[in-house]
Structures are given as C-alpha cells and as structure tokens.
Amino acid sequence: QKEVEQDPGPLSVPEGAIVSLNCTYSNSAFQYFMWYRQYSRKGPELLMYTYSSGNKEDGRFTAQVDKSSKYISLFIRDSQPSDSATYLCASRGAGGTSYGKLTFGQGTILTVHP
C-alpha cells in the first residue's frame, strides 16, 4: 500500500464549477500537508501548505486536513480553464528523518472546459 493514495482521474468539469480533490494517507507520523499544481512540462508549484488538522483558505483555494480519518482535500471555487493541470498532494513528518522527504500522491489530472 502506498503511503499517500490519490485518484489519478482524469477529472473534467465546466468552467465555474467547484472542484474537490482528495487524498488519503496511512502514515500517522505525517504532520505537514501540501498541495502542488503541475502544468505540463513544468515543475510542481506550491499552492497550499498546512500543519496538522483544520482548514486553510487562500483565494479560490481551500485545503482541509482531517487527521482522524487521514483524509486531505483541496477545493477550488469558480474553477477556470487556467486551473487545468495535475494536482499533487504531499505529506511529511514533523522532524528527524522526515524533514526533507515529501511523500507524494500519484496526482489528479484536472481539465476545466469553457
């Protein structure tokens, strides 16, 4: 079993829709949770960075972490064609040997059509 599981999609939605992207993880030591967006032929771009459980909002993006169920979510409101990309969730522990090592999900391919 992978430590971080993510449905690869693809996911296709109309412009303006609310998008929900999800991941589950199995490692109880994970404390930091991230969402990255990756356009074709580009490196991952950091969207959201959260610590422990709770919600974090940044513009049209909201990240949710539920450590009790080991569930990570990213919501995109008023989706735009420019949001079309691969979305990667990632997690890591809080210290020691976990510092540098992010564990990524497979990525979900999202297409927002006009």
Partner 1 sequence: DAGVTQSPTHLIKTRGQQVTLRCSPKSGHDTVSWYQQALGQGPQFIFQYYEEEERQRGNFPDRFSGHQFPNYSSELNVNALLLGDSALYLCASSLGAGNSPLHFGNGTRLTVT
Q: Report the interface residues with partner 1, using CB under 8 A.
A: 4, 6, 8, 32, 34, 36, 41-46, 49, 51, 88, 90, 94-95, 97, 99-107
The least distance separating partner 1 from the CB of residue 55, rounded to whole angstroms, comes to: 18
Q: Which is nearer to partner 1, 7 or 17 (CB)?
A: 7
* Sign of torsion over alpha carbons 51, 57, 59, 60: positive
The least distance separating partner 1 from the CB of residue 37, rounded to whole angstroms, comes to: 11
Alpha-carbon radius of gyration of the chain: 14
How far is CA 114 from its chain centroid?
A: 23
Tokens of 12: 């296709």
DSSP 3-state of 98? helix
Q: Which is nearer to partner 1, 42 or 113 (CB)?
A: 42
The least distance separating partner 1 from the CB of residue 99, rounded to whole angstroms, comes to: 5
The least distance separating partner 1 from the CB of residue 80, rounded to whole angstroms, comes to: 22
Find all residues with CB under 8 Å of 49, minimum gap 6, and list them.
32, 33, 34
Q: Which is nearer to partner 1, 15 or 52 (CB)?
A: 52
